Amino acid sequence: MSSDGLHAYAAIPDNPENSAPNGAVFTFSISSTTGTAGAQVPVPGARRLAVSNDGKSLLVFADNNNSVYYINLAGTTFTAVAIPGFNQPYGAIFSSDNTTAYVLNCGTECSGTAAPSVQPITFSGTTPTAGTALTVPGATKGYLNGSTLYVAGNDLTKTPGQQGTLTAVNVSNMTVAATAAIADGLHTKMSFFNNKLWIGSLNCTTTNCLSIFDTSSSTVTIGTTTGNVTGIEPAPVSKLMFVVQGGQINQYDPDALTATVPYQVSGQAWDVKLLDQ
């Protein structure tokens, strides 16, 4: 979704394309009464997306591909332009002024040839430019808080079962500020609430796939709930954190970090979104 809620984008990795490899990005225009389909932009194996805060730039990521695809959403026609020079790029986080996107190179964690890293893309000219990569222990999910980019991933140089890692990167000078051990697995969810970073992963070793990093004390708490974390959503007014884990909706107290199960779901819950408090 775009930040203004008026546009949506979907990556379809196996979408058939004429005279091109499978994969496309679909755009949608959304209003209060109707939703209309827009462009179908061919992108080989398109799987993950990152949209800028101003809604003018879209980055597309595919598995087993060392290029990032750029779509200029401010243009009259949408075309995906490949930006090479990455190492299994998995996703990206845009700066608040939209002049930089920090690409998370999954690297060896995704069978790449180099260590995981954070690599900036600048948007100062007509064509986005890839910058110098900063090596980090692991990188599949990130959250930017001021000048600190928190990056979660797996450090494959450590003992299996102890590879989960969170790295704090100072993006003002592109240096690693600190690291902390978290639950392992494929990190796909991250949310900031109550001065804590909530990090969820899939297929972690211990099944306790929720890690909570307190940014004030730099301590990590592993959640008591079990299973894959597939959804995280804060409720600021009621001061609650909802975590979908193992097919169940858990309600966390963000101070005590204790969980209850307030709702019974028929079938397997997968995600949760807050529409109205």
Task: Return d(Cα 96, Cα 74) in angstroms, integer.
Answer: 18
- For the stretch 143-150, contacts whose Cβ atoms lie closer than 8 Å and that sit 24 or more positions apart, written own/partner, are 143/93, 143/190, 143/191, 143/192, 143/197, 144/93, 144/94, 144/95, 144/96, 144/102, 144/171, 145/192, 145/215, 147/171, 147/172, 148/177, 149/93, 149/102, 149/118, 150/190, 150/197, 150/213
Residue type, 167: T
Q: Provide φ and ψ at 107, rounded to 5°.
A: 55, -130
Please report, rounded to a whole number, the percentage of residues in the chain having pLDDT higher than 90.
86
CA angle 38, 60, 164 (to 5 degrees): 140
d(CA 169, CA 187): 17
What are the tens digits of pLDDT across the range 50-77?
A: 999 999 999 999 999 999 999 999 888 8
Per-residue pLDDT of 30-43, as tens digits, reads: 876 666 778 899 99
Residue 170 burial (C-beta neighbours within 10 Å; 0-12, 13-18, 19+): middle
Nearest CA to 194 out of 152, 234, 148 is that of: 234
Of 120, 221, 139, 233, nearest to 186 (Cα)?
139
Quickly count helices (H) and strands (E) in the chain: 0, 24
Residue 145 contacts by C-beta under 8 Å, 6 or more apart in sequence?
A: 192, 215
pLDDT in tens, 218-267: 999 999 999 999 999 999 999 999 999 999 999 999 999 999 999 988 99
